Amino acid sequence: MLRFIVQRVIFSIISLFIIVSATFFLMKAVPGNPISNENDDIPQEILEAMLDHYGLNDPLHIQYVNYLKSVVTWDLGPSYTYKGTTVNEIINSGFPVSFILGMTALVIGVSGGLILGIVSALNHNRMPDYMAMIVAVIGISVPNFILAALLQYVFAIKLGWLPVAKWGSPNQIILPSLALAALPLAFVARLTRSSMLEVLSENYIKTAKSKGIKQSVITVKHALRNAILPVITYIGPLAVSILTGTFVIEKIFGIPGLGSHFVMSIMNRDYTVIMGTAVFYSVLLLGVILLVDLSYGIIDPRIKFSNKKER
């Protein structure tokens, strides 16, 4: 187990180094710079002084080494767009909002998908199965920005039950969370359904039924515990994809999350915010994947973290 953890941590560090390096050189390959982009009419002397101040005139390898040092010390530098603000401050202020929105959507998507998948598998080729799969197909087919506009029109404008946009109250979380949760709910439902159908056809499930064990016990204790492993594998990248994919929903609902700052930084060529956000989400993704790998052994004790072959 310890050897497995050490290997995964080393692989994660190597992956993070590759991501940081690729992000840095890709951003440096973009024509122009954030200062001249924002201040095209300033005198050349002042422009050069600003570039020297931010180290943008240094040789590329010097900039690269300095950026690696800033990543290691987690001092991601100043923002060129938000004056007097550092990248760390932007992440600290924007990520909690995106985290609340993303985790709410994740809970709705995973719990709703598990319920639909289980109901669909237990009623295979019957009406509940067809209805659940219709919901899943709609969730996969309809983009979240269209679903967001539809939810705003129906529940905010027509019915007046919920606010159209903005952030701050629990009521303002509902619509963006539902719009963001539709796609993961559909994927989890389809994945749970296929896994449950495979597990329910196993001999030990038939044996449990022949012993007169209740269907609810068979479903929860025997079938779901084994069928949920593919879902757990999907939840790791899903969680990060939801957190990194909130910028469209944040723009539609006027939510001050990290995604909206990321979009603004791209539009203004704010290199430090772009690279800092990419590094932050990379660390988050690699950490979640590591936790998912370790959770396998907890969920299913039959899984061993050893390379030794059984004799």
pTM over 0.95: no
Q: Quote the CA–CA distance of 117 and 111 in Å, as a whole number.
A: 10
Identify the CA nearest to 108 among candidates 129, 131, 139: 139
On whether the CB atoms of residues 80 and 272 are closer than 8 A, the answer is yes
Handedness of CA 193, 194, 198, 204 (dihedral sign): negative
In sequence order, the 6+-apart residues with CB closer than 8 A to the CB of 248 are 144, 145, 148, 259
Helix, strand and coil in the chain, % to nearest 5: 75, 0, 25
Lowest-pLDDT choice from 12-21, 27-36, 146-155, 219-228: 27-36
Which residue's entry shows tokens 């594998």?
233
Identify the CA nearest to 33 among candidates 52, 17, 15: 52
Could you report the per-residue pLDDT of 59-91, keeping only the tens digit for each?
Answer: 888 888 888 888 888 888 888 777 778 888 888
Could you report the per-residue pLDDT of 99-132, keeping only the tens digit for each?
Answer: 888 888 889 988 888 888 888 888 888 888 888 8
Give the model's pLDDT for residue 44. Answer: 67
Give the model's pLDDT for residue 309. Answer: 45
On whether the CB atoms of residues 246 and 259 are closer than 8 A, the answer is yes
On whether the CB atoms of residues 98 and 246 are closer than 8 A, the answer is yes
Give the model's pLDDT for residue 42. Answer: 63
Give the model's pLDDT for residue 121. Answer: 83
Q: Could you tell me which residue, 264 or 308, shows the higher pLDDT?
A: 264
Q: Is the pLDDT assigned to residue 310 strictly greater than 50? A: no
Q: Quote the CA–CA distance of 180 and 201 in Å, as a whole number.
A: 34
Mean pLDDT over all residues of the chain? 79
Q: Quote the CA–CA distance of 228 and 82 in Å, as a whole number.
A: 44
Could you report the per-residue pLDDT of 230-250, keeping only the tens digit for each?
Answer: 777 777 777 777 776 677 788
On whether the CB atoms of residues 261 and 94 are closer than 8 A, the answer is yes
Could you report the per-residue pLDDT of 138-170, keeping only the tens digit for each?
Answer: 888 888 888 888 988 889 888 888 888 878 788
DSSP states of 1-58 as a string? Answer: -HHHHHHHHHHHHHHHHHHHHHHHHHHHHSSS-HHHHH-TTS-HHHHHHHHHHTTTTS
CATH 3.40.50.150 assigned to domain 94-276? The reply is: no
Q: Could you tell me which residue, 37 or 242, shows the higher pLDDT?
A: 242
User: Quick one: how far is CA 264 from the chain centroid?
Assistant: 19
Could you report the per-residue pLDDT of 272-300, keeping only the tens digit for each?
Answer: 888 888 888 888 878 877 777 776 656 55
In sequence order, the 6+-apart residues with CB closer than 8 A to the CB of 282 are 15, 16, 19, 20
DSSP states of 158-191 as a string? Answer: IS--S-SS-SSSTHHHHHHHHHHHHHHHHHHHHH
Which residue's entry shows tokens 């993704």?
285
Q: Quote the CA–CA distance of 27 and 301 in Å, as a whole number.
A: 45
Q: Could you tell me which residue, 25 or 304, shows the higher pLDDT?
A: 25
Q: Is the pLDDT assigned to residue 223 strictly greater than 50? A: yes
Give the model's pLDDT for residue 162. Answer: 86
Give the model's pLDDT for residue 261. Answer: 76
On whether the CB atoms of residues 235 and 185 are closer than 8 A, the answer is no
Could you report the per-residue pLDDT of 264-279, keeping only the tens digit for each?
Answer: 777 777 778 888 888 8
Q: Could you tell me which residue, 41 or 52, shows the higher pLDDT?
A: 52
> At 308, is the pLDDT very low, low, confident or very high (cuts 50, 70, 90)?
very low
Once rounded to an integer, what is the mean pLDDT over residues 222-229? 73
On whether the CB atoms of residues 284 and 118 are closer than 8 A, the answer is no
Give the model's pLDDT for residue 36. Answer: 59
Q: Is the pLDDT assigned to residue 38 strictly greater than 60? A: no
Give the model's pLDDT for residue 311. Answer: 40
